[in-house]
Structure 1
Amino acid sequence: MEEKIKQIMEVFHLAENLKRELRHSWLSDGRQESVAEHTWRVSLMAMLVERHLEQDINTTKLLKMIIIHDLVEAKAGDIPAFDTLENEEAKKLKAQNEEKAITHIKELIGGEQGREWYYLWHEFEAKDTYEAKVANALDKLEAQIQHNEASIETWLPIEYDMSYKLGKHTSFSPFLEAFKDAIEQEADTKIKNTSRFGPK
Protein backbone atom coordinates (compact mmCIF):
# COMPACT_ATOMS: atom_id res chain seq x y z
CA MET A 1 0.00 0.00 0.00
CA GLU A 2 2.82 2.40 0.82
CA GLU A 3 4.35 1.90 -2.62
CA LYS A 4 1.00 2.52 -4.35
CA ILE A 5 0.46 5.74 -2.40
CA LYS A 6 3.96 6.85 -3.40
CA GLN A 7 3.09 6.24 -7.08
CA ILE A 8 -0.15 8.20 -6.74
CA MET A 9 1.71 11.10 -5.13
CA GLU A 10 4.20 11.12 -8.01
CA VAL A 11 1.32 11.50 -10.47
CA PHE A 12 -0.09 14.37 -8.39
CA HIS A 13 3.29 16.11 -8.38
CA LEU A 14 3.60 15.64 -12.14
CA ALA A 15 0.09 17.04 -12.67
CA GLU A 16 1.01 20.19 -10.74
CA ASN A 17 2.99 21.19 -13.84
CA LEU A 18 -0.34 21.73 -15.62
CA LYS A 19 -1.15 24.58 -13.23
CA ARG A 20 2.06 26.28 -14.38
CA GLU A 21 2.06 25.26 -18.07
CA LEU A 22 0.57 28.18 -19.98
CA ARG A 23 -1.48 27.94 -23.16
CA HIS A 24 -1.70 30.45 -25.98
CA SER A 25 -5.02 31.62 -24.58
CA TRP A 26 -5.76 34.63 -22.45
CA LEU A 27 -8.49 35.19 -19.89
CA SER A 28 -10.91 38.10 -19.94
CA ASP A 29 -8.89 39.79 -17.17
CA GLY A 30 -5.70 39.70 -19.26
CA ARG A 31 -4.03 36.77 -17.50
CA GLN A 32 -2.68 33.86 -19.53
CA GLU A 33 -4.57 30.57 -19.15
CA SER A 34 -3.02 27.41 -17.72
CA VAL A 35 -3.53 23.94 -19.17
CA ALA A 36 -5.23 22.88 -15.92
CA GLU A 37 -7.84 25.63 -16.30
CA HIS A 38 -8.57 24.60 -19.88
CA THR A 39 -8.93 20.94 -18.90
CA TRP A 40 -11.27 21.80 -16.04
CA ARG A 41 -13.64 23.73 -18.28
CA VAL A 42 -13.63 21.06 -21.01
CA SER A 43 -14.67 18.61 -18.27
CA LEU A 44 -17.45 20.96 -17.18
CA MET A 45 -18.62 21.25 -20.79
CA ALA A 46 -18.78 17.45 -21.04
CA MET A 47 -21.03 17.30 -17.98
CA LEU A 48 -23.30 20.00 -19.40
CA VAL A 49 -23.69 18.68 -22.94
CA GLU A 50 -23.66 14.89 -22.55
CA ARG A 51 -27.44 14.63 -22.02
CA HIS A 52 -28.07 16.59 -25.24
CA LEU A 53 -26.01 14.34 -27.51
CA GLU A 54 -27.77 12.18 -30.07
CA GLN A 55 -26.11 8.95 -28.92
CA ASP A 56 -25.68 7.41 -25.51
CA ILE A 57 -22.20 8.11 -24.20
CA ASN A 58 -20.03 6.64 -21.46
CA THR A 59 -19.61 9.80 -19.39
CA THR A 60 -16.99 8.32 -17.09
CA LYS A 61 -14.89 7.31 -20.08
CA LEU A 62 -15.41 10.73 -21.68
CA LEU A 63 -14.23 12.58 -18.57
CA LYS A 64 -11.23 10.28 -18.13
CA MET A 65 -10.27 10.85 -21.75
CA ILE A 66 -10.48 14.64 -21.40
CA ILE A 67 -8.35 14.71 -18.24
CA ILE A 68 -5.76 12.18 -19.46
CA HIS A 69 -5.44 13.85 -22.87
CA ASP A 70 -3.84 16.99 -21.44
CA LEU A 71 -1.81 15.21 -18.76
CA VAL A 72 0.97 14.51 -21.29
CA GLU A 73 1.55 18.27 -21.42
CA ALA A 74 2.88 18.09 -17.87
CA LYS A 75 6.00 16.59 -19.49
CA ALA A 76 5.78 17.50 -23.17
CA GLY A 77 4.47 21.06 -22.78
CA ASP A 78 1.58 22.68 -24.64
CA ILE A 79 2.11 23.25 -28.36
CA PRO A 80 -0.53 25.49 -30.01
CA ALA A 81 -2.31 23.90 -32.98
CA PHE A 82 -1.17 26.66 -35.35
CA ASP A 83 2.50 25.85 -34.60
CA THR A 84 2.13 22.44 -36.26
CA LEU A 85 -0.61 23.23 -38.78
CA GLU A 86 1.67 23.41 -41.82
CA ASN A 87 4.89 22.12 -40.30
CA GLU A 88 5.27 18.35 -40.66
CA GLU A 89 8.56 18.28 -38.78
CA ALA A 90 7.07 20.11 -35.79
CA LYS A 91 4.01 17.83 -35.91
CA LYS A 92 6.21 14.73 -35.89
CA LEU A 93 8.34 16.04 -33.00
CA LYS A 94 5.19 16.87 -31.00
CA ALA A 95 3.85 13.33 -31.55
CA GLN A 96 7.15 11.79 -30.47
CA ASN A 97 7.36 13.89 -27.30
CA GLU A 98 3.76 13.14 -26.38
CA GLU A 99 4.26 9.40 -26.94
CA LYS A 100 7.26 9.50 -24.60
CA ALA A 101 5.17 11.40 -22.04
CA ILE A 102 2.19 9.02 -22.08
CA THR A 103 4.54 6.02 -21.90
CA HIS A 104 6.21 7.59 -18.85
CA ILE A 105 2.80 8.17 -17.26
CA LYS A 106 1.74 4.57 -17.99
CA GLU A 107 4.89 3.27 -16.29
CA LEU A 108 4.56 5.72 -13.40
CA ILE A 109 1.01 4.57 -12.62
CA GLY A 110 1.73 0.93 -13.45
CA GLY A 111 -0.50 -2.08 -13.79
CA GLU A 112 -3.97 -2.15 -15.32
CA GLN A 113 -4.67 1.51 -14.56
CA GLY A 114 -1.50 2.63 -16.30
CA ARG A 115 -2.43 0.62 -19.38
CA GLU A 116 -6.00 2.00 -19.31
CA TRP A 117 -4.76 5.59 -19.29
CA TYR A 118 -2.30 4.83 -22.08
CA TYR A 119 -5.02 3.34 -24.30
CA LEU A 120 -7.51 6.10 -23.50
CA TRP A 121 -4.96 8.72 -24.55
CA HIS A 122 -4.40 6.92 -27.84
CA GLU A 123 -8.16 6.51 -28.33
CA PHE A 124 -8.56 10.28 -28.03
CA GLU A 125 -5.77 10.85 -30.54
CA ALA A 126 -7.29 8.43 -33.06
CA LYS A 127 -10.74 10.08 -32.82
CA ASP A 128 -12.48 6.92 -34.04
CA THR A 129 -14.88 6.26 -31.17
CA TYR A 130 -17.88 8.40 -30.23
CA GLU A 131 -16.38 9.39 -26.87
CA ALA A 132 -13.13 10.42 -28.57
CA LYS A 133 -14.94 12.51 -31.17
CA VAL A 134 -16.95 14.31 -28.47
CA ALA A 135 -13.85 14.86 -26.32
CA ASN A 136 -11.94 16.31 -29.28
CA ALA A 137 -14.85 18.56 -30.28
CA LEU A 138 -15.22 19.94 -26.75
CA ASP A 139 -11.46 20.52 -26.53
CA LYS A 140 -11.56 22.68 -29.68
CA LEU A 141 -14.80 24.45 -28.77
CA GLU A 142 -13.58 25.43 -25.31
CA ALA A 143 -10.43 26.91 -26.81
CA GLN A 144 -12.51 29.12 -29.12
CA ILE A 145 -14.80 30.17 -26.27
CA GLN A 146 -11.71 31.29 -24.36
CA HIS A 147 -10.46 33.26 -27.38
CA ASN A 148 -13.87 34.91 -27.61
CA GLU A 149 -13.65 35.94 -23.96
CA ALA A 150 -10.14 37.38 -24.30
CA SER A 151 -9.16 40.75 -25.69
CA ILE A 152 -8.89 40.53 -29.47
CA GLU A 153 -5.48 42.18 -29.13
CA THR A 154 -4.22 38.78 -27.93
CA TRP A 155 -5.32 37.06 -31.17
CA LEU A 156 -2.74 36.13 -33.79
CA PRO A 157 -3.68 36.76 -37.46
CA ILE A 158 -4.16 33.02 -38.08
CA GLU A 159 -6.73 32.84 -35.26
CA TYR A 160 -9.19 35.01 -37.16
CA ASP A 161 -9.52 32.32 -39.86
CA MET A 162 -9.37 29.45 -37.36
CA SER A 163 -12.48 30.86 -35.65
CA TYR A 164 -14.52 29.66 -38.64
CA LYS A 165 -12.96 26.19 -39.01
CA LEU A 166 -14.46 24.34 -36.06
CA GLY A 167 -16.95 22.42 -38.20
CA LYS A 168 -14.51 19.61 -39.04
CA HIS A 169 -14.56 18.69 -35.34
CA THR A 170 -18.34 18.80 -34.82
CA SER A 171 -19.94 17.60 -38.08
CA PHE A 172 -20.80 14.16 -36.61
CA SER A 173 -23.30 15.66 -34.12
CA PRO A 174 -26.22 18.04 -34.84
CA PHE A 175 -26.13 19.31 -31.25
CA LEU A 176 -22.39 20.02 -31.33
CA GLU A 177 -22.85 21.65 -34.74
CA ALA A 178 -25.42 24.02 -33.22
CA PHE A 179 -23.09 24.64 -30.27
CA LYS A 180 -20.27 25.37 -32.73
CA ASP A 181 -22.50 27.79 -34.68
CA ALA A 182 -23.20 29.78 -31.51
CA ILE A 183 -19.48 29.95 -30.67
CA GLU A 184 -18.55 30.98 -34.22
CA GLN A 185 -21.26 33.65 -34.17
CA GLU A 186 -19.81 34.98 -30.95
CA ALA A 187 -16.37 35.13 -32.60
CA ASP A 188 -17.81 36.77 -35.72
CA THR A 189 -19.50 39.46 -33.65
CA LYS A 190 -16.27 40.12 -31.75
CA ILE A 191 -14.24 40.40 -34.97
CA LYS A 192 -16.75 42.75 -36.61
CA ASN A 193 -17.22 44.97 -33.55
CA THR A 194 -13.58 45.25 -32.53
CA SER A 195 -10.44 46.29 -34.30
CA ARG A 196 -6.90 45.70 -33.05
CA PHE A 197 -6.95 49.33 -31.94
CA GLY A 198 -10.07 49.05 -29.79
CA PRO A 199 -13.86 49.08 -30.30
CA LYS A 200 -15.17 50.64 -33.49
Structure 2
Amino acid sequence: MKNVNRVFFCKSLSLVFLVPSFTRSHIRFTYSAAGASSPNRAIHCMASDSPQSGDGSVSSPPNVAAVPSSSSSSSASSAIDFLSLCTRLKTTPRAGWIKRDVKDPESIADHMYRMGLMALISSDIPGVNRDKCMKMAIVHDIAEAIVGDITPSCGISKEEKNRRESEALEHMCKLLGGGERAKEIAELWREYEENSSPEAKVVKDFDKVELILQALEYEQDQGKDLEEFFQSTAGKFQTNIGKAWASEIVSRRRKQH
Protein backbone atom coordinates (compact mmCIF):
# COMPACT_ATOMS: atom_id res chain seq x y z
CA MET A 1 0.00 0.00 0.00
CA LYS A 2 1.23 3.42 -0.84
CA ASN A 3 2.09 5.62 2.13
CA VAL A 4 -0.38 8.43 2.64
CA ASN A 5 0.55 11.43 4.76
CA ARG A 6 -1.96 13.82 6.20
CA VAL A 7 -1.18 16.91 8.29
CA PHE A 8 -3.54 18.34 10.85
CA PHE A 9 -3.18 21.82 12.35
CA CYS A 10 -4.70 22.03 15.81
CA LYS A 11 -5.03 24.99 18.15
CA SER A 12 -4.86 23.16 21.45
CA LEU A 13 -3.65 19.99 23.09
CA SER A 14 -7.19 18.58 23.05
CA LEU A 15 -6.97 16.83 19.72
CA VAL A 16 -9.49 14.70 17.89
CA PHE A 17 -8.24 12.65 14.96
CA LEU A 18 -10.29 11.08 12.22
CA VAL A 19 -8.10 8.09 11.46
CA PRO A 20 -8.56 6.51 8.01
CA SER A 21 -10.28 3.15 7.78
CA PHE A 22 -7.07 1.23 7.26
CA THR A 23 -5.93 -0.28 10.52
CA ARG A 24 -2.16 -0.27 10.19
CA SER A 25 -1.64 3.40 10.96
CA HIS A 26 0.47 5.45 13.27
CA ILE A 27 0.57 9.06 14.32
CA ARG A 28 3.70 11.11 14.75
CA PHE A 29 3.68 14.35 16.73
CA THR A 30 6.06 17.23 16.39
CA TYR A 31 5.85 20.47 18.32
CA SER A 32 6.16 23.79 16.57
CA ALA A 33 7.91 26.53 18.53
CA ALA A 34 6.03 29.10 16.50
CA GLY A 35 3.59 30.95 18.71
CA ALA A 36 4.92 29.29 21.85
CA SER A 37 4.09 32.34 23.90
CA SER A 38 0.44 32.08 22.95
CA PRO A 39 -1.98 29.84 24.88
CA ASN A 40 -3.13 28.46 21.53
CA ARG A 41 0.00 26.68 20.49
CA ALA A 42 0.23 24.87 17.19
CA ILE A 43 0.69 21.12 17.13
CA HIS A 44 1.52 19.57 13.80
CA CYS A 45 0.30 16.00 13.63
CA MET A 46 1.17 13.63 10.83
CA ALA A 47 -0.80 10.42 10.30
CA SER A 48 0.52 7.86 7.83
CA ASP A 49 0.22 4.21 6.91
CA SER A 50 2.64 1.93 8.69
CA PRO A 51 5.53 1.28 6.34
CA GLN A 52 5.85 -2.24 5.06
CA SER A 53 9.08 -4.14 4.82
CA GLY A 54 10.16 -5.82 1.67
CA ASP A 55 8.57 -9.14 2.68
CA GLY A 56 5.20 -7.55 3.12
CA SER A 57 5.23 -7.57 6.93
CA VAL A 58 4.27 -4.44 8.83
CA SER A 59 6.91 -2.81 10.99
CA SER A 60 6.02 -1.55 14.45
CA PRO A 61 4.87 2.07 14.58
CA PRO A 62 7.23 4.52 16.20
CA ASN A 63 6.59 5.77 19.71
CA VAL A 64 4.37 8.81 19.98
CA ALA A 65 6.62 11.66 21.09
CA ALA A 66 6.13 15.28 21.93
CA VAL A 67 9.06 17.64 21.68
CA PRO A 68 8.43 20.65 23.93
CA SER A 69 9.83 24.06 23.23
CA SER A 70 12.01 25.78 25.80
CA SER A 71 9.08 28.06 26.56
CA SER A 72 6.74 25.18 27.41
CA SER A 73 9.47 23.55 29.51
CA SER A 74 9.82 26.76 31.48
CA SER A 75 6.05 26.96 31.88
CA ALA A 76 5.91 23.37 33.09
CA SER A 77 8.70 24.05 35.58
CA SER A 78 6.84 27.06 37.00
CA ALA A 79 3.60 25.08 37.25
CA ILE A 80 5.22 22.19 39.13
CA ASP A 81 7.09 24.59 41.46
CA PHE A 82 3.77 26.30 42.24
CA LEU A 83 1.91 23.04 42.77
CA SER A 84 4.70 21.67 44.97
CA LEU A 85 4.38 24.71 47.21
CA CYS A 86 0.61 24.25 47.32
CA THR A 87 1.04 20.75 48.75
CA ARG A 88 1.42 22.49 52.11
CA LEU A 89 -2.30 23.24 51.89
CA LYS A 90 -2.88 19.48 51.94
CA THR A 91 -0.59 18.84 54.89
CA THR A 92 -1.34 21.85 57.12
CA PRO A 93 -4.23 21.21 59.54
CA ARG A 94 -6.68 23.98 60.34
CA ALA A 95 -5.43 25.72 63.48
CA GLY A 96 -8.83 26.11 65.16
CA TRP A 97 -9.33 22.37 65.40
CA ILE A 98 -5.85 21.74 66.78
CA LYS A 99 -6.48 24.19 69.59
CA ARG A 100 -9.67 22.29 70.47
CA ASP A 101 -7.85 18.93 70.51
CA VAL A 102 -9.77 17.56 67.54
CA LYS A 103 -8.30 14.26 66.35
CA ASP A 104 -7.12 14.06 62.74
CA PRO A 105 -8.28 17.61 61.91
CA GLU A 106 -9.03 18.64 58.35
CA SER A 107 -6.36 20.37 56.29
CA ILE A 108 -6.64 23.77 54.67
CA ALA A 109 -7.10 22.03 51.31
CA ASP A 110 -9.92 19.88 52.74
CA HIS A 111 -11.72 23.04 53.77
CA MET A 112 -11.28 24.74 50.40
CA TYR A 113 -12.30 21.62 48.49
CA ARG A 114 -15.68 21.34 50.20
CA MET A 115 -16.24 25.04 49.68
CA GLY A 116 -15.64 24.41 45.97
CA LEU A 117 -18.29 21.68 46.09
CA MET A 118 -20.67 24.11 47.76
CA ALA A 119 -20.27 26.49 44.85
CA LEU A 120 -20.69 23.61 42.40
CA ILE A 121 -24.00 22.37 43.82
CA SER A 122 -25.47 25.76 44.67
CA SER A 123 -28.47 26.91 42.69
CA ASP A 124 -28.13 29.80 40.27
CA ILE A 125 -28.27 33.20 41.94
CA PRO A 126 -29.10 36.28 39.85
CA GLY A 127 -26.01 38.42 39.38
CA VAL A 128 -23.63 35.74 40.71
CA ASN A 129 -21.17 33.82 38.51
CA ARG A 130 -21.11 30.30 39.94
CA ASP A 131 -17.93 29.32 38.08
CA LYS A 132 -16.18 32.32 39.57
CA CYS A 133 -17.36 31.25 43.01
CA MET A 134 -15.79 27.83 42.51
CA LYS A 135 -12.47 29.41 41.53
CA MET A 136 -12.59 31.83 44.43
CA ALA A 137 -13.30 29.00 46.87
CA ILE A 138 -10.12 27.15 45.91
CA VAL A 139 -8.06 30.34 45.98
CA HIS A 140 -9.29 32.21 49.05
CA ASP A 141 -6.89 30.54 51.52
CA ILE A 142 -4.07 29.83 49.09
CA ALA A 143 -1.60 32.19 50.79
CA GLU A 144 -1.78 29.94 53.86
CA ALA A 145 0.55 27.57 52.02
CA ILE A 146 3.26 30.01 53.19
CA VAL A 147 1.91 31.85 56.24
CA GLY A 148 -0.14 29.02 57.74
CA ASP A 149 -3.64 29.26 59.18
CA ILE A 150 -3.75 32.51 61.13
CA THR A 151 -6.80 32.65 63.41
CA PRO A 152 -8.11 35.45 65.66
CA SER A 153 -6.69 33.60 68.68
CA CYS A 154 -3.16 33.94 67.27
CA GLY A 155 -3.00 37.53 68.50
CA ILE A 156 -2.16 38.92 65.05
CA SER A 157 -4.05 41.98 63.84
CA LYS A 158 -6.14 41.87 60.66
CA GLU A 159 -3.79 44.40 59.08
CA GLU A 160 -0.71 42.30 59.81
CA LYS A 161 -2.45 39.12 58.66
CA ASN A 162 -3.38 40.78 55.39
CA ARG A 163 0.15 42.08 54.91
CA ARG A 164 1.69 38.66 55.41
CA GLU A 165 -0.81 36.96 53.14
CA SER A 166 -0.43 39.64 50.45
CA GLU A 167 3.32 39.12 50.38
CA ALA A 168 2.87 35.35 50.27
CA LEU A 169 0.41 35.64 47.38
CA GLU A 170 2.79 37.88 45.46
CA HIS A 171 5.56 35.32 45.91
CA MET A 172 3.31 32.49 44.72
CA CYS A 173 2.22 34.40 41.63
CA LYS A 174 5.84 35.07 40.73
CA LEU A 175 6.63 31.40 41.27
CA LEU A 176 3.85 30.56 38.84
CA GLY A 177 5.59 32.76 36.29
CA GLY A 178 3.18 35.67 36.22
CA GLY A 179 0.87 35.84 33.25
CA GLU A 180 -2.89 35.53 33.00
CA ARG A 181 -3.37 32.64 35.44
CA ALA A 182 -1.29 34.28 38.16
CA LYS A 183 -3.18 37.53 37.60
CA GLU A 184 -6.50 35.72 37.86
CA ILE A 185 -5.53 34.07 41.15
CA ALA A 186 -4.40 37.40 42.60
CA GLU A 187 -7.58 39.17 41.53
CA LEU A 188 -9.82 36.44 42.94
CA TRP A 189 -7.95 36.48 46.25
CA ARG A 190 -8.10 40.27 46.63
CA GLU A 191 -11.76 40.36 45.66
CA TYR A 192 -12.51 37.81 48.36
CA GLU A 193 -10.44 39.63 50.97
CA GLU A 194 -12.14 42.92 50.20
CA ASN A 195 -15.61 41.35 50.06
CA SER A 196 -16.08 43.52 46.99
CA SER A 197 -18.35 41.46 44.73
CA PRO A 198 -21.50 39.33 44.90
CA GLU A 199 -19.31 36.26 44.39
CA ALA A 200 -17.07 37.24 47.31
CA LYS A 201 -20.09 37.58 49.59
CA VAL A 202 -21.34 34.12 48.60
CA VAL A 203 -17.93 32.52 49.10
CA LYS A 204 -17.43 34.22 52.45
CA ASP A 205 -20.73 32.70 53.53
CA PHE A 206 -19.57 29.30 52.25
CA ASP A 207 -16.43 29.73 54.37
CA LYS A 208 -18.57 30.06 57.50
CA VAL A 209 -21.03 27.36 56.43
CA GLU A 210 -18.18 24.90 55.89
CA LEU A 211 -16.77 25.82 59.31
CA ILE A 212 -19.96 25.11 61.24
CA LEU A 213 -20.73 21.99 59.20
CA GLN A 214 -17.30 20.63 60.07
CA ALA A 215 -17.83 21.63 63.70
CA LEU A 216 -21.12 19.72 63.76
CA GLU A 217 -19.42 16.66 62.29
CA TYR A 218 -16.64 16.76 64.89
CA GLU A 219 -19.25 17.07 67.63
CA GLN A 220 -21.04 14.01 66.28
CA ASP A 221 -17.91 11.92 65.66
CA GLN A 222 -15.75 12.90 68.63
CA GLY A 223 -18.20 14.08 71.26
CA LYS A 224 -16.79 17.62 71.25
CA ASP A 225 -18.61 20.77 72.30
CA LEU A 226 -17.76 23.34 69.64
CA GLU A 227 -20.42 25.89 70.48
CA GLU A 228 -17.96 28.76 70.10
CA PHE A 229 -17.82 28.28 66.33
CA PHE A 230 -21.57 28.57 66.04
CA GLN A 231 -21.55 31.65 68.25
CA SER A 232 -18.77 33.33 66.28
CA THR A 233 -20.61 32.96 62.97
CA ALA A 234 -24.17 33.64 64.12
CA GLY A 235 -25.76 36.63 62.41
CA LYS A 236 -22.80 37.16 60.07
CA PHE A 237 -24.16 35.55 56.91
CA GLN A 238 -24.66 37.97 54.03
CA THR A 239 -26.60 35.97 51.44
CA ASN A 240 -29.84 34.04 51.32
CA ILE A 241 -28.09 30.80 50.45
CA GLY A 242 -25.62 31.24 53.30
CA LYS A 243 -28.42 31.94 55.77
CA ALA A 244 -30.48 28.98 54.53
CA TRP A 245 -27.62 26.46 54.69
CA ALA A 246 -26.46 27.73 58.10
CA SER A 247 -30.00 27.49 59.43
CA GLU A 248 -30.23 23.88 58.26
CA ILE A 249 -26.98 22.98 60.01
CA VAL A 250 -28.03 24.69 63.25
CA SER A 251 -31.42 22.95 63.09
CA ARG A 252 -29.75 19.53 62.78
CA ARG A 253 -27.46 20.36 65.68
CA ARG A 254 -30.40 21.23 67.93
CA LYS A 255 -32.04 17.90 67.16
CA GLN A 256 -29.00 15.94 68.34
CA HIS A 257 -28.71 17.80 71.66
Give the structure-1-normalised TM-score: 0.79
Counterpart of 2:237 in structure 1: which amino acid? T
SS of the equivalent of 1:32 reads coil
Report if aligned partners of 1:69, 1:124 keep a CA contact under 8 Å in 2.
yes
The CA deviation at 1:162 is: 3.8
Displacement of 1:169 after TM fit?
Answer: 3.9
Q: Say if 2:121 is the partner of 1:48.
A: yes
Residue equivalent to 1:127: 195
- What is the correspondence of 1:17-32 to structure 2 with a 5 Å cutoff? 17-23=88-94, 24-25=96-97, 30-32=103-105
Cα distance, 1:61 vs structure 2: 1.4
Q: Tell me if 1:83 matches 2:150.
A: no
CA-to-aligned-CA distance 1:145-172 (integer Å, 9 cap, x gap): 00000036555xxx5244045354423x
Aligned to 1:170: 237
The residue aligned with 2:175 is 108
Q: Hey, what does 2:85 align to over in structure 1? A: 14
Using structure 2 for the length normalisation, give the TM-score. Answer: 0.63
Mapped to 2, the partners of 1:2 and 1:20 lie a distance apart of 28
Structure 2 contact 215–229 (Cα < 8 Å) conserved: no
Higher Rg: 2
Deviation of the 1:175 alpha carbon: 3.1
Q: Between the two proteins, what is the percent identity of the paired residues? A: 27
The one-letter amino acid of 1:118's match is A
Whether the 8 Å CA contact 1:163–1:187 is kept in 2: the answer is no
The answer to which of 32-41 and 55-64 deviates more is 55-64
Partner in structure 2 of residue 182 of structure 1: 248
Unpaired runs of 5+ residues, structure 2, are 1-71
After superposition, the C-alpha distances for 1:57-100 in whole angstroms (9 at most, x for unaligned) are 222211111111121110110123x426xx5x433322121011
Contact 1:106–1:115 (CA<8 Å) still a contact in 2? yes
Structure of greater relative contact order (alpha carbons < 8 Å, 6+ residues apart): 1
Q: Report Cα offsets for 1:122-180 as digits up to 9, x if no partner.
A: 0001112110001110011101100000036555xxx5244045354423x33322211
In the alignment, the residues of structure 2 paired with residue 47 and residue 176 of structure 1 have an alpha-carbon distance, to the nearest angstrom, of 14
Q: Aligned to 2:242, what secondary structure does the other structure show?
A: helix
1:58–1:131 Cα contact (<8 Å) kept = yes
Distance 1:186 1:164, change over 3 A: farther
Does 1:64 find its partner at 2:135? yes
Structure 1: 5+ residue stretches without partners: 194-200
For the aligned residues, what is the CA RMSD? Answer: 2.3
Q: Give the 3 Å change call, closer, same or farther, for CA 115–38 of structure 1 in structure 2.
A: same
Q: Which amino acid aligns with 2:130?
A: T
Q: Is 1:136 the equivalent of 2:204?
A: yes
Check whether the contact 1:15–1:74 (CA below 8 A) recurs between aligned residues.
yes
